[in-house]
Structure 1
Amino acid sequence: MAKGKVKWFSAQKGYGFITTDTGKDVFVHFKEIQGDGYKSLEEGQPVEFEISAGPKGEHATRVVLR
């Protein structure tokens, strides 16, 4: 799993970006946040995730809080 921190996340829009520990920005959608209940992320929050290729480029999947 990759590690990083939330760069920004809009709960209203349901997406944002994670910056990996290597400095790469990766798109994240709220549906990829693991866990029950309201799914949102806070700026600077440490996370672990998988990186998958999609039609618009790479995106984070299976996002969990560290």
Structure 2
Amino acid sequence: MPSGRVRWFDAKKGFGFIESDDGHDVFLPQTALPKDTRDVRKGAKVEYSVIDGSKGPVAMDVTFVKSAPSLVKATRPKPDDMSAIVEDLIKLLDSAGNQLRRHRYPSASDSKKLATLLRAVADNFDVQE
């Protein structure tokens, strides 16, 4: 069964397109979606049957493939722990800001710690739903 990702879908127009795993566009009519499905998220992984339409391939019998749970999302800190991390980060940034106001960059070791912490916090906030 072919699979791909929804490139775009407009519920008002009642159609969209799937980008198949082999790179081809497949027309996605509203009628090919599971019953009671009105809106389709861009990038949703789908499997479908294909028929030849007058203007090219058309998807039929579309099913949504559930993605595996995100390992990053499962291992990210709890909100209470993250709030403590963010508060510590604010203190470090405030200290770095004070040094910059005195026309000096923080020491190399402090800069490295700050950069590492910033990246880690950014990664925890940037988890895709």
Query: Residue 11 of structure 1 corresponds to which residue in structure 2?
Result: 11
Alignment of 1:1-66 (within 5 A): 1-34=1-34, 36-66=35-65
Can you give the 5+ residue segments of structure 2 that lack an aligned partner in the other structure? 66-129
Paired with 1:65 and 1:51, the residues of 2 have a C-alpha distance of 15
Q: Is the 8 A contact 1:33 1:40 kept in 2?
A: no
SS in 1 for 2:60: strand
**CA-based RMSD:** 1.1
Question: 1:28 Cα shift?
Answer: 0.6
Higher mean C-alpha displacement, 38-47 vs 25-34: 38-47
Q: Which residue identity does 2:60 align to in structure 1? A: T
Paired with 1:40 and 1:56, the residues of 2 have a C-alpha distance of 24
Superimposed CA distance per residue, residues 10-55 of structure 1 (whole angstroms, 9 cap, x where no aligned partner): 0110100000011111101010112x32433110000000110122
Q: TM-score, normalised by structure 2?
A: 0.48
Paired with 2:56 and 2:20, the residues of 1 have a C-alpha distance of 15
SS in 1 for 2:51: strand
Q: Which residue identity does 2:61 align to in structure 1? A: R
SS in 2 for 1:31: helix
Q: TM-score, normalised by structure 1?
A: 0.89
Larger strand percent: 1
- Greater RCO, CA 8 A, separation 6+: 1
